[in-house]
Amino acid sequence: MDDEAPEDPLALESQICFALSLASRSVVAAYRPVLEPLRLTHPQYLVMLALWEHEPLSLTQLSEKLSMNPGTVSPLIKRLEALGYVQRGRAREDERALAIVLTAEGRRLRRRAEEIPGIMMGKLGMDVEELKALHASMMKLIRAARASGDLPG
């Protein structure tokens, strides 16, 4: 007779949803003191990353890149505008559409932000290869969740 009891399939510690939720909150909390000198919250940082890479963007394009609802992104843009990092203007290709662009200050902020990945790698105690492997696993998980139809594309 086996002395080991079968593992509880509902044990909290064995749930991927629990581990992902805890990891997400922990990583965002670790970013907080790194982003504070830039006067950015983590969601604002994500907006800035998208703009540094793809500016100009409409609110819809930005929302799609971030996989966020436009209603969630809009207040982030307003706050970044108040900080002087972005501005809204008319899109060059369609005067009726609004485009979000970086200000000179927003562009200068990018140089300061270039230190963040290295700082975070140190804080998380992971090297580039470990982070790449983790990222690949997470992207596989996201693709699978999206393919199931339960997550916006």
41-85 tens-digit pLDDT: 999 999 999 999 999 999 999 999 999 999 999 999 999 999 999
DSSP character string of 83-103: TTSEEEEE-SS-TTSEEEEE-
Q: The domain that contains 47 carries what CATH number?
A: 1.10.10.10
pLDDT one-digit tens code per residue, 61-72: 999 999 999 999
Going by DSSP bridges, is the β-strand pair 86-90/98-102 parallel, antiparallel, or unpaired? antiparallel
- Name the residue range of residue 47's domain: 26-147
Question: How many domains, in total, are found in the chain?
Answer: 1
Residue 14 forms part of a structural domain: no
pTM of model > 0.85: yes
The answer to whether residues 84 and 103 touch, using CB atoms and an 8 Å cutoff, is yes
Spatial CB neighbours of 84, under 8 Å, sequence gap ≥ 6: 103, 105, 106
Residue 140 forms part of a structural domain: yes
